[in-house]
Amino acid sequence: MRARRSLIDLDDLSGDELNDILDRAADFEDTEPAPLLKGVATVNLFFEQSTRTFASFNFAELRLGAHVVNLTPGDMSLATKGETIEDTALTLAAMGVRVLVVRHPEVGFAQRVAQAFDGHVVNAGDGAHAHPTQGLLDVFTLREEFGSLEGRTIAFVGDILHSRVAHSTIAGLQRLGAKIVLVGPEVFLPSEYAKPGIALERDFDAVLPAVDAIVLLRIQRERFAAMPLSDAEYVARYQLNAARVARLHERTIVMHPGPYNRGMELDDTVLEFAGWRYAKQVRNGVFVRMAVLDFLVNGSP
């Protein structure tokens, strides 16, 4: 089979490809990797701030032996000298670059790069649209926790409308047969989100005892002009706090893509809860990104 060229969203992957990536990630977790990307020229192009995703891609690339260059907007002719992203991509390809990891605030930006670039593009987040490697690491973490996800109920709470993580993770979970419950106010969760396999709930308290996992989301304040409801109202209705944690089943796990905002979507009780899996997600992110890079560059064995 010819290797898939780029990863723009989870929908790009067939069920077999998705499982292949998750299995590779599990192998990378268990065994020291061979230098599967030895000498592969890789550039990380980050036009938006990032801590976890940026560091995680770097570690993944370095662990596999790639040659890595990082470019931020301040370094690029694109920002001030009128070069288009298409011409930047051609320039990098001429240097022998084979992989571009791209983060940008504009929806569809990674897709644009993929059309211009003769190599592999990994979308590391395009506006509110998609963040497939975060989706994969969330799915991987849930699969590790529960084995099969068939029939498991996963709740996403908060600003689903602007969350590229929610969009990508939901796509992956639906492939694996999980039931999705979305929880939030209308302004962050329009009714159109209800679909087969995806239920909507405005009342967080109503879902607490019944879910296998909760994915908390940060309010994406950088993606809209004014907060549509007060922080106090949001906290009262949707914060996971001590009282709500006490109502969770003891096997329920809580996840967050980070960065989390203490005092908004969660309080400190959550960080001490036995089911809090944030660090596990971050750790798994490196294995999953190694798996994605190996899958794109080397294809199937």
Q: Does 131 bind ligand ASP (CB under 6 A)?
A: yes
Q: Does 119 bind ligand ASP (CB under 6 A)?
A: no
Scanning the structure block, which residue is given the tokens 């998705």?
A: 18
**Can you read off the two tokens belonging to residue 280?**
């596990």
Q: How far is the CB of 251 from ligand ASP (least distance, A)?
A: 25
Residue nearest to ligand ASP (CB): 218
Looking at beta carbons only, is 255 or 297 nearer to ligand ASP? 255
Three-class secondary structure of residue 95 per DSSP: coil
Alpha-carbon distance of 293 to 28, in angstroms, equals 12
Q: How far is the CB of 125 from ligand ASP (least distance, A)?
A: 5
Alpha-carbon distance of 237 to 158, in angstroms, equals 10
Q: Applying CB under 6 A, what is the total number of residues that bind ligand ASP?
A: 7
Q: Does 166 bind ligand ASP (CB under 6 A)?
A: no
Looking at beta carbons only, is 119 or 285 nearer to ligand ASP? 285
Alpha-carbon distance of 185 to 233, in angstroms, equals 10
Q: Does 125 bind ligand ASP (CB under 6 A)?
A: yes
Q: How far is the CB of 227 from ligand ASP (least distance, A)?
A: 15
Residues of span 55-84 touching ligand ASP by CB under 6 A: none
Alpha-carbon distance of 181 to 256, in angstroms, equals 16
* CA count, 13 A, side-chain hemisphere, 176: 27
Q: Does 162 bind ligand ASP (CB under 6 A)?
A: no
Catalytic residues: 52-53, 81, 103, 131
Give the helix/strand (H/E) hosting 282.
helix 278-298
Q: How far is the CB of 217 from ligand ASP (least distance, A)?
A: 7
Q: Which burial class, exposed, middle or buried, applies to 163 when counting CB atoms under 10 A from its CB (0-12, 13-18, 19+)? A: buried
Q: Does 158 bind ligand ASP (CB under 6 A)?
A: no
Instruction: Please identify which residue in 218, 244, 277, 289 interacts with ligand ASP, judged by CB under 6 A.
Output: 218
Q: Please name which of 239, 195, 202 lies closest in space to residue 217, comparing C-alpha atoms.
A: 239
Q: Does 257 bind ligand ASP (CB under 6 A)?
A: yes
Q: Does 165 bind ligand ASP (CB under 6 A)?
A: yes
Looking at beta carbons only, is 20 or 138 nearer to ligand ASP? 138
Q: How far is the CB of 93 from ligand ASP (least distance, A)?
A: 26
**How does DSSP assign 2-67, residue by residue?**
PPP--BS-GGGS-HHHHHHHHHHHHHHHHSPPP-TTTT-EEEEEESS--SHHHHHHHHHHHHTT-E
Which residue ranges make up the site for ligand ASP (CB under 6 A)? 125, 131, 164-165, 218, 257-258
